[in-house]
Amino acid sequence: MGDTGTELIRQWLQASPFVVQLGIIVDKLDDGLAVLTLPFREELTTIADVVHGGALSSLIDTAATVAAWAGADVSGGLRGTTVALTVNFVGAARSQDVAATARVIRRGKTLVFVDVEATGVDGSVVARGLATYKLG
């Protein structure tokens, strides 16, 4: 059985300066599934108490990356990159943590398609994302 990217992606999350700067926390990590939380901080707001769209996009991209690696066979190498990311902002995240649930919807030979939903702690959807990630 080949190695999987789950442990490697856990290590990456702890070592990535940008992820650490954002304060992103792993809530759940399973084969093709990641739930990550972006804790609310005033430094991440755009105006007043609204979380900046760039912070939300970074959360969505990070969650998609983690889901793409989780359970992936990494025997062929450890390279990867986001090749496409679409984020639709549905509502404002005001003074609250935001959780992103990322699910692999198709895993090809090298391309992984990931659907992401970002919700506030109040349960409201604040953004939806679709990412295409290339492994290898």
Structure tokens at 47: 């105006």
Query: Is residue 81 in a domain?
Result: yes
Domain region containing 120: 6-135
Domain count, the chain: 1
Angle at 79 between CA 74 and CA 81, to 5 degrees: 120
pTM: 0.94
How confident is the model over 15-48, as pLDDT tens digits?
999 999 999 999 999 999 999 999 999 999 999 9
Residue 21's Cα: distance from chain center in Å? 15
Residue 71 pLDDT greater than 50, yes or no: yes
Query: Is residue 1 in a domain?
Result: no
